[in-house]
Structure 1
Amino acid sequence: MHSAPVPSDSRYESLTRPSPQFAWITDAQGHFTAPQPGWGECTGQAWEACRGLGWQKAVHADDLPAMWRNWRVASEQCAPYGAEGRIWHAPSGQYRQFEIRAVPSLDADGGIREWIGTCTDVHERRSNEQALRIADRRKDEFMAVLAHELRNPLAPIRNAVHVLKVCREDDARSAWARSIIERQVDQMSRLLDDLLDVTRIARGKLEVRRERIDLADPLERAIETSRPLLDAHGHAFQADLPAEALVVEGDPPRLAQVFANLLNNAAKYTDRGGRVTLGVRAEEGQAVVRVRDNGMGIAAAVLPNLFRIYTQAVPSRERAEGGLGIGLSLVRGLVEMHGGTVQAHSEGPGRGSEFVVRLPLVEQPQIRPARPAPVAEPPRLRVLVADDNPDAAQTLAVLLEVMGHEVRIAADGEEAVELAASFQPAAVLLDIGMPRMDGYAAARHIRDKLPGTLLVAVTGWGRREDVSQALKAGFDHHLVKPVGPEQVSKLLAQAVRAEAGR
């Protein structure tokens, strides 16, 4: 905003009229020496306030140094001036982004007599550009996560198929392998169904078949769906369902989908051995369902955008079961289609979280008891497998046992380090995204204690930088899921040779 003499209104009055842009003139030192109508209309500064260098008070303090820096360079070179920064916009009561341009007017000796310039409001343009950059980054992150999430079920499926090839039909492991394939195919189907559902909601094409139901029915279905995941993470789970029926107008499968998503989220984002509760109450004509956990919590900055599509409280890489970032968007869409609301609360990172769903009640009679929980089943070179996806870990372990190896399983990075110290494996197959300690940190610890052990990263992340990071962490090899039996067999042959040479 720099350049001067006494301008008559007629010299630039026409430039001050369009609201997105106004003109200004300063002397060679950047002082306003005469009233600037456009500047005053934009900033609300009276002439006495903006004269001289008073205009600086209307510029955001963080942007002023760069503006002056650019001006000094332009002054030294007698060149056009350009900068961008936030200027107070009185009509809207906020700072807005402006593009500032000026040219020097020279005197007879070639020195700068004044600067004549414009300020152009580019706030919307910059905001839109930023939104597009964020959307583009989210799209790239989503595609990487989608590839990761689809690879994860493929690994146990592929291993189970190999088990079926080498085991007899009447072998108990054959039935077990078939159940793994069925479960993982179901998981992939749910993943794709969620993706399609959230797209249908966005387009207004999802159908909800509402009927009068006792809310306990979809809640119990949700608990049945989520119980294996809660058990696999070793969480203490408590459901507090009311004795009286809470009657709502809803689509039972869709409401079960809502509550299962919230319970699964609580299981995934709570460290092993945590606590998850589900409580239901009638409050002021509404059925209120609260899903609480004592997990990793949610940062205040994330809360406002938590229910937007592709948003996650933490990157999926940091949580192996982080998912696609569409679950909460789907929850909100389905709840709103039932005339209800959903909110998230957290006191911050490490303080747990609570999700509250409110649905309108239509009546309240009869009684409905809760259901008991099912129990999860626990599962000869020495090989340690670490993966917090139980199916991936167990199928790989059975595959290794069929090959004749002795196997131990760890569910997270810390457990892998502890088991490695006592089990003294010849090879360790580590997932990267695990709770408590990720695969990179676990590899460093194991490498320090067992320098001769073969370390293999087994992960859904397969970009060049992921491979590089794995090698820096001490891994000997980096395999991308799904991993074939031949790959594992070939790598373990190295460990067999190393063992024989000791």
Structure 2
Amino acid sequence: MCTQSMTSFSSIDLSAELHTRKLRAPDYQSENEALAWLADTLAERPDHIAQELANTAMRLTQAGSAGISIEEDCNGEHQFRWIATAGALERYLNGTVPYDVSPCSQVVERNAVILLHRPATHYRYIRELDLPVKELLLVPFHRGGRPAGTVWVVSHDEHKTFDAEDLRQVLSITKFAAIATQTVGVVNGLRDEDQRKDHFLAALSHEMRNPLSAITASTELLKHLSAATPAYRKPIDCIERQLAQLLALVNDLTDISSIKSGHVTLHREALVLQDIVTRALDSCGAALRDKQHRLIVDMPETPIRLEGDGTKLTQVLVNLLNNAVKYTPNGGLITLEARQLAQRVSLKVSDSGIGIPAELLPRIFDMFMQVALSDRPRYSGMGVGLALVYQFVQLHHGTVTAHSAGANLGSTFTVELPHQL
């Protein structure tokens, strides 16, 4: 790819200094939570373990970027491939660097941790990333008894330097790296057909957006032109409702593609749960009125505060409410309850609808899962809403459960989220 500059490697190698720097305070709680999260990911979403490991390494070390590089031979080229990336370097996922011009080669050959200061002075390709790289900490991981690649974290900030505590945190999660790289290889080899489906869904959602945007604009124009003609109000309202369903479907398809690729990013911010409830109810209000459902909202007046992605958490509640609306006959009862618990917050959506058969409860959050055709209502969607709920809640380190006493006995979905991620 690129030749290296003449600056010697020893001039940028600060590995010996790593253990002499002032240590930041250990954060064992975050480390234990991260290890538990990685274990859960490995058990439930093994194809996401590499990406989650990169995300975790960046979070634990407060780095600007993180990733996993694996040594490989491809068409006669000896190189390192970035099989997971997070942070500022996220866009370089699946990029490759020739073996001889990658700092990972030094790590593999030495079988040792390496800390580099301003590595762009020695590695030209780092300069071509067009991002400042102040420090680069690389930790080897092993497969079959030999180094197979590195887990790395990057500081883009003049104020962030890595110390032995950062190294300890990375070492504690690196044990997952060998499994992650094996899983990536196995899963990639088995799911070519799934990838083609994913690409089709992504292309379909993209192609649908342009005509839907035109329909939306035209509908707005019709609303203004027909303001003085009440007879047109009903058909225009119908167009708006159906358009909203189509837009929701396109958004779901887009989210599916992002989740399957492991590139969903949380935009964390301080939130108030009551605000999320208000936004969700505004979104679902028309559907509730159309089916003449009775809605009971039970939540405290005192603000319930939490941290998370407001857009995605609103979508979680919208999807749960829409699910209740779809599967509850006209005039039914839907209850929304919000509570503040000791260490978590709780959202519960209950309905008096058709219920969930016991045999389907364990799979109710699977993608495209639906109740039997004879039991579900017309226009019940594609069966992705609850799968998205599950994925978004998982990304927030929360839990979501479903309960139903049986056919025609309604259902209850309970989401619990930590106050802080």
Please give the TM-score of this superposition, normalised by the length of structure 1: 0.39
> Which structure has the larger Rg?
1
Query: Higher helix share goes to which structure?
Result: 2
